[in-house]
Structure 1
Amino acid sequence: MSIRGLAPVFTLEDARAAGLTRDQVYSLLERDEIERVGRGVYVCPEVLQPAFTALAVATAIREDATLCLTSALVHHDLSDAIPLASDIALPRGTHQPIGLSNVSWHSFDPATFPIGREHADAGGGAKVAIYSAERSIVDTFRLMHQEGSDVAYEALRRWLRRRGNTPTGLLKVAGSFPKALPRIRQALEVLL
């Protein structure tokens, strides 16, 4: 019985497909060779980057799970916040997995969901999706009533200080979000 054929994050169904029985999975769990992180979801310890564990687990259940909002801003070093849970987006109208701890679910419009979606390695070859810095800033302005104006403006200030970032790039992403575009234009006028 070996976990070599398994991904760093896997479900009971994945384990069965790799040739392991439920009893073998439970035996691995008892010997601390794997850890249960959600209902029917397991990880191989010390393989994943700790910052991506919740996202990798969500991705194992829902392939389109994407790190967003404050969690994405922290990933891009645009915020010093310490989120209590990982902000993870799914397309609106899709089922949000239950039984995952440390996850704050968000529903985004399916038409704009893929905009700014990038992929990263979470460790051990596990791929996760994260919204780009530009998309994260746009979402923070778009959802300012939830995230707070101070978070949005601080992220924008930090982003503007970085070499290679231009308002044109941000406005291009913001163009797909008509309600956020005026707020971002106004903030850019104030900060520039």
Structure 2
Amino acid sequence: MRSADQATEKALAGLPTTFSYTEARAGGLSDRRLYALRDAGVIEQLGRGLFRRADSAGEADPDLLEIAHRAPRATLCLTTALARHGLSDTIPARIDVALPRGQRRPRTQAPVMWHAFAPDTFDIGRDELTLTEQTTIGMYSPERCIIDAFRLRHLEGSDVAVEALRRWLRRRGAQPATLLRMARAFPKAEPALRAALEILQ
């Protein structure tokens, strides 16, 4: 193997699976070599200044990888998260992503619908979804997603919220008391959620 190829292999080995242009340059890859690797199919460009090794291409959704790298606090929410939890059959045309209100919304190639959630309740019900060994993205729990669907039913539609609640109640281990405890932090959602629970239970 030529020394240039060995240097490239070494530089790539020192980078995470998904990496930025800045990380590639700091790792010893020149512009010319970086784009030659892209053109040769060794790496894949996910978005402006964002790449991943082609041998890891089957690991994760490239749109979610881009979102996670552009906005570390990004959290899948509303219909996108409901669908991932099996609480909705709707697959939105754009990925619903929440950020704390006041945080900058980055530009992405991925189709994203950004939502601004209150910073004081942002982490309630927030879990992490593993994308690769090095990358995670936030995702709200089924309970938080249901609460948000009721809280934002003027955007999502009441039928989405009620159907998600109906499916959740059918699950083994679903505890309405836990759901209502979490809902106390969201006064706009709690009355409608209580009313729907009385009808569905």
Confirm or deny a common fold (TM above 0.5).
yes
Who is 2:4 aligned against? none
Aligned-partner Cα distance in 2 for 1:83–1:48? 22
Name segments (4+ residues, structure 1) moved above 3 Å. none
Aligned-partner Cα distance in 1 for 2:30–2:85? 40
The Cα of 1:152 is off from its aligned counterpart by: 0.7
TM-score, normalisation: structure 2: 0.88
Residues 1:172 and 2:181 aligned together: yes
Higher relative contact order (CA 8 A, sep 6+): 1
Deviations 1:16-72 (A, max 9, x none): 23332332221121112222222212233424323xx32221111111011111110
Q: Alignment partner of 2:177: what SS?
A: helix
The Cα of 1:112 is off from its aligned counterpart by: 0.9
Who is 2:119 aligned against? 110
1:4 maps to a residue whose letter is: A
TM-score, normalisation: structure 1: 0.92
Who is 1:41 aligned against? 50
1:25-174 matches, cutoff 5 A: 25-45=34-54, 46-50=57-61, 53-174=62-183
Superposition RMSD in Å:
1.5
Aligned-partner Cα distance in 1 for 2:42–2:66? 17
**Which stretches in structure 1 are left out of the alignment for 5+ residues?**
none
Aligned-partner Cα distance in 2 for 1:172–1:25? 51
Q: Alignment partner of 2:13: what SS?
A: coil
**Which stretches in structure 2 are left out of the alignment for 5+ residues?**
1-7
Aligned-partner Cα distance in 1 for 2:53–2:155? 35
Who is 2:26 aligned against? 17
The Cα of 1:156 is off from its aligned counterpart by: 0.5
Deviations 1:103-130 (A, max 9, x none): 1111111111111111121134422211
Aligned length: 190
Contact 2:43 2:53 in 1 (8 A): yes
Identity fraction in percent: 46
Larger radius of gyration: 2
1:135 maps to a residue whose letter is: R
Q: Which of 179, 185, 190 is matched with 2:194 structurally?
A: 185
2:25 maps to a residue whose letter is: R
Answer with 165-174 or 10-19: which moved more.
10-19
